[in-house]
Structure 1
Amino acid sequence: MPAPPARSTLVVRRRVLGLGVASALLAGCSMLDKLPLIGSAKKPPPAPAAPPPASPPPPQLVDVALEAAPGLNPDTSGRPSPVVVRLYQLKSAGKFANADFFALFDHDATLLGADLLAREDLDIAPAANRTVVLERAKDARQFAVLAAYRDVDSAHWRAVVDVWPANVKRFDVRLDALGVAVTPAAAAPVDHAASQPKPS
């Protein structure tokens, strides 16, 4: 019967086996190090910043030049007198053109409804010349003028420009003794800073 291996031989074999296992473990760890970690993928670059919002367009200004006749709005004795003038910006002029004077003068907001976009009230003296600057209202399609003459039954007290072209820079409003007329013009506007009413 062969003799059992010496103790020293067993110890050597165990050490060799242990070194082999350790080498295998180290090799496995090295391979694991080379594998990408879960969740370590590159993040996509950030999205470019949104461009700033566009600046709103500048307001469209229009000059309204009013010229009154010396004999404006005569009273019962024929003496000239001041008159109240209203400048309207309208989406549609149908209701304005067909309205009664007193209904329009006293209740224009109710009567015109959504067609009324802006209104400016002025007191104009006989022989006066005055220029006002208006900012065109959004959706405005008509420009209208009302003059509150004393003898409203005999006066032509309203005027309407049916179309407001984009190139119109000025409206000329003529106030005669018993009538008002408005004419659009494409001329260059006056100096807004210097637009002040002239003394009557």
Structure 2
Amino acid sequence: MLRDIRINYQKYQLDESSLPSSPIELFDEWMQEVIKKEVTEPTAMVLSTCSAGVPDSRIVLLKEVENGNFLFYTNYASSKANQLAANEHVALNFFWHELERQVRIKGVASKVSEQQSADYFQSRPRESQLGAWASAQSQEVANRQSLEESFREVSERFKEQAIPKPPHWGGFQITPTEIEFWQGRPGRLHDRIRYFLGENNRWKFKRLAP
């Protein structure tokens, strides 16, 4: 039975006396530890958007934390991008079960510069670059064959030449307003520390009941 599935978390703890003043510093510490532990897809995060009062979620990959902002890239004509255009407020969620940890982030999304998007696009594998041209993300397709044919056409078009960034593709940065760190503990008495922006835009934190 699903209700009988339980795990008694007991690997780590969160102690206020050892927390950094910035949640970005703590996030970086946790991310480096996740990478060191060779957790599968360490940068995978749930991106939640809300348009017309209807929430929507999907997994995207964190590509950078820059100046305190969380960056990912996508098709600007996709459902998620259209939802972000209608409502810039978003939530991110990381869950690393191997370390019994979760990070929840609330923030505001905005596009990164065209130059930054172009620079990142050129760092991607060639097949990923071709896929950005071949796939009209979130749009209906007749079948798998039509998608593969589109990829072949794009591959031929850019044969033996550099692939430019599509005009409809680029990055978003999430500027956080709240970041909550969750550490699993025995007996469901989990540690929850929520950082929030206080006076003068300085980070503060509080402990929350699990």
- TM above 0.5, yes or no, is no
TM-score by length of 2: 0.28
Using the size of structure 1 for normalisation, the TM-score is: 0.29
